[in-house]
Amino acid sequence: MSDTRARVASHIVGRERELELTLAAVAAGREIVLEGPPGTSKTTMLKAITQEWGIPLLFVEGNADLTPAKLVGHHNPARVLREDYSADNFVAGPLVEAMQEGGFLYIEEFNRAPEDTLNTLLAAMADRSIAVPRVGIIVARPTFRVIASMNPYDNVGTTRLSTSVHDRLNRLSIGYQDEAGERGIVALRTSVSGTLGERFIRDAVAVTRATRTHRDLRQGSSVRGAIDCVLIARELAALRGVTSPDDDEYAALFYDAMVVSLSGRIHLDEAAETTPERVLREIWEDHFVLQPAIAEPG
């Protein structure tokens, strides 16, 4: 088990505790809800665990259209007309596929799924089998698990999960990575290097983190914004001939990269009378003009 943990961890920056707890839950044969904002390593951890176990990871997005039939599967209508219903013309949905192949069924935004869909899932988890009309009983392989995710900031179109749902699930709350962890992730995903590249990473992580605490924002950007900010800044630097962070044009270039990478990823508070660009300008000024010492190498 500790070997497994070490092998899985080698694909992931940081997250030792979250990985250990998630592994413990699934190894115990249990289901778990990972509750955290976007971009906080949930999918990355599950991919690493299922890869290590050699089993499939099936994704489903929880929304109002996720009916029990979509989850379970359906009979191919053209074939039903020709051949009548049979197990042979049944097209398995992700739940049945995960049960048959012993995979993880990962339901993102679990709390957006309709209640009857949740009940179908809970029954499959509890019984480890499911009765499909005109097909028969499908028994899950031992590694079948349901993993759910929820965004704690999400309150539009969500179902209030009943206490009986909560009582059947384990839960791990996941927050944003720390600053060093985010720099490590951005470095890994962008492969930039050198003085300019390292400065891009430091600045992109700092301004992205600042979006999460800005008073006018309901939700800031995840590390995905920082990754894209670095990639776009690098291209802009090539286009504009900027080769060093000491270049006079560096700060302006970085602001342009911020607007493109972050303006669509930040969500204004309903009461805030401002624009994403104005908020980013403030964060930029704070970082480059008011507190330039933070941006200095060191």
Ligand X SMILES: Nc1ncnc2c1ncn2[C@@H]1O[C@H](COP(=O)(O)OP(=O)(O)OP(=O)(O)O)[C@@H](O)[C@H]1O
Cβ distance to ligand X smaller for residue 40 or 208: 40
Among ligand X, Mg ion, none, residue 41 binds (CB under 5-8 Å by kind): ligand X
Nearest approach in angstroms of CB 264 to Mg ion is 18
Nearest approach in angstroms of CB 78 to ligand X is 35
Q: How far, in Å, CA of 237 to CA of 229, rounded?
A: 12
Structure-token pair, residue 276 = 């994403």
Quick note: the x/- pattern for ligand X over 102-141, rule CB under 6 A, is ------x---------------------------------
| Residue pair 183/199 in contact by the 8 Å Cβ criterion | no
Residue nearest Mg ion by beta-carbon distance: 43
Pairing of strands 267-268, 217-219: antiparallel
The one among 185, 207, 230, 237 contacting ligand X by CB under 6 A: 185
Residues whose CB is less than 8 angstroms from the CB of residue 237 and which lie 6 or more positions away in sequence, other chains included? 196, 243, 253
H/E stretch holding 19: helix 16-27
The one among 15, 112, 199, 265 contacting ligand X by CB under 6 A: 15
Q: Does 189 bind ligand X (CB under 6 A)?
A: yes
Query: Which one of the spans 38-46, 125-133, 250-258, 267-275 is the region binding Mg ion (CB under 5 A)?
Result: 38-46
The one among 44, 51, 76, 158 contacting ligand X by CB under 6 A: 44
Which residues inside 211-250 make contact with ligand X, applying CB under 6 A?
223-224
Structure-token pair, residue 270 = 């309903």
Residues whose CB is less than 8 angstroms from the CB of residue 267 and which lie 6 or more positions away in sequence, other chains included? 217, 218, 219
The one among 35, 42, 211, 257 contacting ligand X by CB under 6 A: 42
Q: Does 188 bind ligand X (CB under 6 A)?
A: yes
Distance (Å) of CA 9 to CA 42, 157, 171: 13, 35, 20
Residues whose CB is less than 8 angstroms from the CB of residue 265 and which lie 6 or more positions away in sequence, other chains included? 211, 220, 221, 222, 224, 225
Query: Which one of the spans 39-47, 110-118, 152-160, 236-244 is the region binding Mg ion (CB under 5 A)?
Result: 39-47
Cβ distance to Mg ion smaller for residue 43 or 274: 43
Pairing of strands 136-139, 145-150: unpaired
Q: Does 62 bind ligand X (CB under 6 A)?
A: no
Structure-token pair, residue 2 = 């500790």
Residues that contact ligand X, how many (by CB under 6 A)? 18
Q: Does 265 bind ligand X (CB under 6 A)?
A: no
Nearest approach in angstroms of CB 245 to Mg ion is 33
Structure-token pair, residue 205 = 């992580």
Q: Does 43 bind Mg ion (CB under 5 A)?
A: yes
Q: Does 26 bind ligand X (CB under 6 A)?
A: no
Angle in degrees, CA 68, 73, 76, rounded to 5: 135
Angle in degrees, CA 124, 129, 130, rounded to 5: 70
Nearest approach in angstroms of CB 76 to ligand X is 31
Instruction: Tell me which residues touch Mg ion (CB under 5 A).
Output: 43
Instruction: Tell me which residues touch ligand X (CB under 6 A).
Output: 12-15, 38-44, 108, 149, 185, 188-189, 223-224
